[in-house]
Amino acid sequence: MHSALDTPAAAAAHFTGLAATGERPLSSALTEVTLDDGRVVMVKRADDDRAARAEAAGLRWLADAGTVRVPELHGHDAHWLVTDRVATGRPGAEAAERFGRDLAALHAAGAPAFGAPPPGGPEDAYIGRAPMRNTTGPDWPGWYAAHRVLPYVRLAVDEGTLSPAEAAVFERVCERLPELAGPAERPARLHGDLWNGNVLWGADGHVRLIDPAAHGGHRETDLAMLQLFGCPHLDRVLDGYRRHTPLADGWTARVGLHQLFPLLVHAVLFGRGYAEQALTTARTALRH
């Protein structure tokens, strides 16, 4: 079934109630649309209805916590998602520390279970362009192994990106997760895809988060992903976080464990280089 909203401008007008006066494509999936009151919104083309529902539900769930800011969501359908554009500025140390505090408060807002999707979000969701199942589990080590590590190992083996012998390295990590995972934690409300590209430094001094793959998880996973690809003023972000909510002893030694998930997702999407990085990380975890 095709949407009657066949252009980004039509989608923007439908969900904001204002006429669109201009379009500026940023990529094949993202367009800036100017409205007749001068505001600019971002219109994202969704791959399918589940992708749009998952992202919209995630943005609402993060916003409901009243902590880290997200762009206002104007609406979505099976093909389009319309949000405010964020006016960006330079990353600053003060904004970084505030972001850390707000992120800790977001995590503390909690989730019903590990793997719980946002209210209204589909169980079969996405992280980037990779499938991600939000199936719940009673404890983090078992859930993380079953739903965040092993599915991507299997996909990578099927694609020939990992060999069966290499897959066994990740299986050994999963077997040892109960002892490697550190103290038990309550399910946190995660952004879920917290790499630097999804962190927008607002011109007003407040960070906004975009493109969530939100679910209930372990708070160290968001922090590990933030560290994986670098983040401006990361030390200040972590300082702000720990001032709000201390991290459990040994958290720095567990960063690689939590990075296995995004590294394996990248291996599935982008190939062997990330598979090798994930293998190195898994082998390092086994030495602990």
The catalytic residue positions are 193
Give the burial string for 259-287 (b: 16+ CB within 10 Å, else e).
bbbbbbbbbbeeeeebbebbbebbeebee
The 3-class secondary structure across the chain, one letter per residue, is CCCCCCCHHHHHHHHHCCCEEEEEECCCCEEEEEECCCCEEEEEECCCHHHHHHHHHHHHHHHHCCCCECCCEEEECCCEEEEECCCECCCCHHHHHHHHHHHHHHHHCCCCCECCCCCCCCCEEEECCEEEECCCECCHHHHHHHHHHHHHHHHHHHCCCCCHHHHHHHHHHHHHHHHHCCCCCCCEEECCCCCHHHEEEECCCCEEECCCCCEEECHHHHHHHHHHCCCCCHHHHHHHHHHHCCCCCCHHHHHHHHHHHHHHHHHHHHCHHHHHHHHHHHHHHHCC
Cα–Cα distance measured from residue 79 to residue 101, given in angstroms and rounded to the nearest whole number: 35
